[in-house]
Structure 1
């Protein structure tokens, strides 16, 4: 008798606080036999850190360590080639578990379908084994909530940009935005600062580090000159649109 395949669950963990997980995510995390997560080599991994103390004693962990992060420029053809091989290898391991009837919980920071690494596994796994995605609060939602002010009003247009974009593209997107979120900051901070100045939005920008985590920090970007920021920092500019 052929054993039914297991299911791969891409579980969104939200911005960082355990009590912001959905009920479904909490249940899957606490009961998972196989738990996979991405991390940089030598680091515990942000997703794994979020669930500290939640995993079952019997959980079998599968850390998926990025072969490159910032060592090779995004424009270098080797970058996609190396990462493609990495995602294929991770997919093979997860698929073998699912083909053997095992369920696997893949921990995902924020929402799995919002700029997350899980998407690269999802597209490779979906044709072959059952895959379910558990949505979550996004990191940017946690960030703008931390500022204590609404991000959009009335008909405001919200624009989300990646700090990895070239400066001219950032400036163009910023100029056309009412409300703005810039993600993937890290070593791109000086470029993002320059773009915000050129777009006339620098003085209104907030820098949020570790949103919804114990070490959360919120300050005006102009008060953080020269500061080295973590990759997962987020910059927001609030909309000021129509209101009654």
Structure 2
């Protein structure tokens, strides 16, 4: 096993600090969030706006890449629901966004996923194939699960086998057991982790570091394994 990297070193890795991740995925269609998440984010947010007309409806998209899906959502809200009180936030390590936001509804933020935290709870939190490049995945999952409003939804792609024991063996069974105990669901076929409403996630594990040389994950692209002492 290679020497494990801490978060600052990992974020300088060519596997993580790349400009090709999540660059072409749109909001709907063949190569889209709708297909990867299993639902249309615009439709979900629109329904939430109608159900909560007096509150700001928020979507947080971690590891948003070029921000294309968020930019398309911004355009659709401008066209179809121009009076909707909506906040769209995209966070990515690399400042490689497709274009600047056109309205103050959308913010594209360059920041480490480990360091960024929202100002208020969100109605939708997504991370589309972004956890593959995160070091302390369990800490980020715990944070995202706590960001939800009482009716909010979290959907993130997750490979439980990317969580490893100190000797490099898979800790997938332990992780999935703790996730289910906290009330999260895991779709093995689509590699999707979901939660409805905030969840208190705690793992009896100490983060040791990450390995960016472990090879491709289930997507076929290079990924990062995260190692913990349980």
Is TM-score (shorter-chain normalized) higher than 0.5?
A: no
Higher helix share: 1
- TM-score with structure 1 length normalisation? 0.32
Q: Which has the higher contact order (CA 8 A, sep 6+)?
A: 1
Structure with larger Rg: 1
